[in-house]
């Protein structure tokens, strides 16, 4: 079964709005990572948050982690059409591999 589950499955917003995606997972993690996948392309790493961290920022991205609730959120502020992509959370259980969710498809309309 999937370790990580993103919510919502799809999100449609206007340029300039904020986009929030959530990820829930089932077991204790070493760290949690977020990736972006543009249509027809490979996944690109966005940000990594360790299990002892609660919040992390990178440019317009803000990631939070709540280990007590086994959940994480990715916030993209002031979204742009170029942010249109699928976003995946990946959990690192400390066994050298990442387990991915099925992703959130984000559509940002001009």
Q: CA 13, 24, 97, 64: dihedral to nearest 10 degrees?
A: 70
- The least CB distance from residue 104 to other proteins, in Å, is 12
- The least CB distance from residue 46 to other proteins, in Å, is 9
Whether residue 11 contacts residue 104, with contact meaning beta carbons closer than 8 Å, is answered with yes
Residues contributing to the site for other proteins (CB under 8 A): 2, 30-31, 33, 35, 41-45, 48, 88, 90, 92-103
In the structure encoding, which two tokens stand for residue 10, read together?
A: 């799809």
Measured distance CA(61)–CA(66) in Å, rounded: 17
Of the candidates 28, 27, 30, 34, which has an alpha carbon nearest to the alpha carbon of residue 6? 34
| Residue nearer to other proteins on the CB measure, 40 or 110 | 40
| Residue nearer to other proteins on the CB measure, 12 or 30 | 30
| Residue nearer to other proteins on the CB measure, 50 or 80 | 50
- The least CB distance from residue 15 to other proteins, in Å, is 27
Neighbouring-strand partners of residue 66: 71
- The least CB distance from residue 17 to other proteins, in Å, is 27
């Amino acid at each position: 079964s999937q370790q990580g589950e993103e919510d919502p499955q799809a999100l449609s917003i206007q340029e300039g709005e904020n986009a929030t995606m959530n990820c829930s997972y089932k077991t204790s993690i070493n760290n949690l990572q977020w990736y972006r996948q543009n249509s027809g392309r490979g996944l690109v790493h966005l940000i990594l948050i360790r299990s002892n961290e609660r919040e992390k920022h990178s440019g317009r991205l803000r990631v939070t982690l709540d280990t007590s609730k086994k959940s994480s959120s990715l916030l993209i502020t002031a979204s742009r059409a170029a942010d249109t992509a699928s976003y995946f959370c990946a959990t690192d259980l400390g066994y050298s591999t990442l387990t991915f969710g099925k992703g959130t498809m984000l559509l940002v309309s001009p």
